[in-house]
Structure 1
Amino acid sequence: MASQEDFLQYQAPTNPHPYLLNVEKAEGLYIYTTDGKRYMDMIAGVSVNNIGHRHPKVVDAIKCQVDQYLHVMVYGEFIQEAPVAFSKKLASMLPASLNCVYSVNSGTEANEAALKLAKRITGRSQLLAFKGSYHGNTHGSLSVSANESKKIPFKPLLPDVHFLEHNDMAALQYITEKTAGVILETVQGDAGVRVSSPEFLHALRQRCNEVGAQLIFDEIQCGMGRTGKMFAFEHSGVVPDILTLGKALGGGLPIGALVSSYENMQLFTHDPMLGHITTFGGNPVIAASALATLNVFEEDIDFVEVERLGQLLEDLISQNPEILAIRRIGMMFAFDMASAERVTKVVLKCLEEGLISFWFLSHPYSFRLSPPVNITENQIRKAADIILNAIAMTR
């Protein structure tokens, strides 16, 4: 059994205060630890387990593929059933212009590839992003993320990157014929669930069309049913030139995807050849898991019910006067409180009481929830009781 001491000694850390739950198993909404305790996972591994832990259809698909073969060749060389079927299925669920899928290893790699593709399509260098954005932690994706305190130790990053005000029509004038790409989270996650207005997205689409800039939607966190639709851009009807996905796409296994038109994707094949390359992208086991995940969403998820239960949880928690504001879309929540200290006390008390919530890197005055979208009403009510009691007990 892995010990806390071994974890702290041998596994490279990310922060000085990890949760340190010693996980034994996970199923549906719940994580079980080696001390016999059960936790409601109300963040779904930070928007990864959108259909819960170990969905049986996903597990069956993984087992079937493992019995056939694992990795056989780097991405793009061999015809393999699972990656091809996954790509075809994902394309079928998207608008006609998003018809070609490049599978990669993570969301941040998908964003790296998207930035490269925008430059390759346009022959331009300027990249524009938005204040409040978070697109990952590799050099390119960090360059287009807004939190300066996270970037300072690693500078210099990519040149010719500029940040615009989110949801500000006037800021769109800075998108010009010099702009290769504009990257936007359709719903900003790390900033505390900031929803892009439909009016802003339509104006952004029009401006990119006018100047020939590529519009990139990062739906790594807000896609895959999280907002009450399969993809968050469906709320506005605005279609990007390039879409990036990750997190929940793999059904619990690591994956990212870059999606654009067939014509755009051909540009990675020449001048230079191998314009983007990945060894483990399109791994057959992960592709099988992702395909099963897409099928679960198509066959089993009722988005009307997702919205109803999301509203129910919002209504229940909003009764507490310490909740100063709630930002929600679908099953993606930010709850504002008076201070970061207050948020920390509530999050830790929830953990003590058997419920996993979390905070935002760049918005410490809120705690976040992002439960599986197939959570039940009884589970919603139980979670709300725990959270309200945690608020009361930490006053």
Structure 2
Amino acid sequence: MSYLFPTYARWNVSVKEAKGSWVTDENDKKYLDFVSGIAVCNLGHADDDVMQGVQDQLKKYWHVSNLFHQPIQEEVAKLLVEHSDGEAVFFCNSGAEANEAAIKLARKHTGKTKIVTFLQSFHGRTFATMSATGQEKIQQGFGPLLEKFTYLPYNQTQALEELEEDVAAIMLEVVQGEGGVVPAEQEFIDKVAETCKRVGALLIIDEVQTGIGRTGKPFGYQHYGITPDIITSAKGLGSGMPVGAMIGASSLIETFQAGSHGSTFGGNPIAMAAAKATLTKILQDDFLNEVTEKNIYLVNKLNSIIGNHPLVKEIRGKGLLIGIECKEQVSMMVDQLRDNNLLVLPAGPNVIRMLPPLTVSYEEIDEALGIIDQTFSTLKQSAVAH
């Protein structure tokens, strides 16, 4: 019997410990972890520097509330501002909360209420962020959604031309993670930025999954040469400690004054210590360049091993956010890979999503590739048999 609401279809794996790129279950079976807590453990599990930062903060104080000045908040905010196009940061506890703050800020600043998002997007499970999400399966059963959200086709420009000046913001992921690991095309991103200027809307980039080095840059939007008004971040920011951040342009600072928004635990010093250690390690040119090199190595090897497999349609992604789109549903493949000691995720019904730690070694990548090769060879024989 479980005392938990069954809101997750949990795997038959009970974790005993985790370190680096590896997870060990209670039966001492070891798994190579290409899930990373769903793009959270960008430095792998139990990173020594993050652990030390958290332990140092635990000896000082755990919580005092945001009525007090906390220098560690300023230090983390400074790191985020220096590596983005923002000027001010609001701290919260999750990606959904960061996106919630972004929606509130956009509406308050512009005085408009319409938010444009995209089909197959995912922005969270609060009422506002669920309403922003362009997937009916996330919204079903909860009654009327928050009003004034419009969903347009992703990577298509025509519908953007029809938008008018009643739009408060356009909100999007530069790689749709939950929606199938679909990177944005440059022409589409350019059109989104142009449309925001034309209609007087803010540009919100949801970097909850793509931020903090996941794509080989501090934030995914930096591949596209655009300047967002608002950037949201969470998952990889705290190496597993609950922390989210909304980063905004200087022009928005006056809109979020005292009393306009808040979070009791947002900017908690323990989470800030984890974020500071995480950012200090990831936001180095050599570290980020290595993420790009690992992407090239992994994608090239995947194409060589399974690119011509009869079940594989396309291999795509940015940095160490990689999707293998298949011609059939992938739930059985995900299960088989897990049985073979490799943890991966689905992204929609037909895409296998790979999110290795950014610190994954080339030896570990080769080990994962061997498991994938073995598993897909078995699948190929099954496909032939059918």
Question: Normalized against structure 1, the TM-score is what?
Answer: 0.92
2:366 aligned residue (359, 363, 381): 381
2:47 aligned residue (47, 51, 55): 55
CA RMSD, 1 decimal: 1.5
Secondary structure of the residue aligned to 2:41 is coil
Aligned to 2:287: 302
* Number of residue pairs the alignment of both structures matches: 376
Aligned to 1:286: 271
Aligned to 1:33: 25
Question: Normalized against structure 2, the TM-score is what?
Answer: 0.94
Secondary structure of the residue aligned to 2:276 is helix
Q: Provide Cα deviations, 1:333-381, integer angstroms capped at 9, x if missing partner.
A: 11122211xx222211111121111112xx2111110101121111111
Distance apart, 1:392 and its partner CA: 2.2
Q: Provide Cα deviations, 1:2-42, integer angstroms capped at 9, x if missing partner.
A: xxx4xxx1122223x41132111111101111211111111
Aligned to 2:165: 177
One-letter identity of the residue aligned with 2:11: Y
CA distance 1:84–1:296, change in 2 (3 Å): same
Report the identity percentage. 33
One-letter identity of the residue aligned with 1:310: N
One-letter identity of the residue aligned with 1:37: K
Secondary structure of the residue aligned to 1:154 is coil
Secondary structure of the residue aligned to 2:141 is helix
Q: Structure 1 unaligned runs (5+)? A: none
Show the 5 A alignment for 1:204-353.
204-269=192-257, 273-299=258-284, 302-318=287-303, 319-320=305-306, 321=309, 322-340=311-329, 343-353=330-340
Q: Provide Cα deviations, 1:80-136, integer angstroms capped at 9, x if missing partner.
A: 1221211112111112xx110000010000101100100011101111101111001
Distance apart, 1:301 and its partner CA: 5.0
**Aligned counterparts of 1:85 and 1:202: Cα–Cα separation in 2:** 33
1:70 aligned residue (35, 53, 62): 62
Aligned to 1:356: 343
One-letter identity of the residue aligned with 1:179: V
**Aligned counterparts of 1:213 and 1:315: Cα–Cα separation in 2:** 39
**Aligned counterparts of 1:103 and 1:252: Cα–Cα separation in 2:** 15
**Aligned counterparts of 1:372 and 1:188: Cα–Cα separation in 2:** 19
> For the Cα contact (< 8 Å) 1:337–1:365, is it kept in 2?
yes
Secondary structure of the residue aligned to 1:11 is coil
Q: Structure 2 unaligned runs (5+)? A: none
Runs of 4+ more than 3 Å apart: none
Distance apart, 1:189 and its partner CA: 0.7
Matched, 1:44 2:44: no
Q: Provide Cα deviations, 1:50-106, integer angstroms capped at 9, x if missing partner.
A: 111111111100000000000111x3x2111221211112111112xx110000010
Secondary structure of the residue aligned to 1:324 is strand
Secondary structure of the residue aligned to 1:177 is coil
Aligned to 1:79: 69
Q: Provide Cα deviations, 1:272-307, integer angstroms capped at 9, x if missing partner.
A: x52211100000000110011110013485333222
Matched, 1:197 2:189: no
Distance apart, 1:201 and its partner CA: 1.5
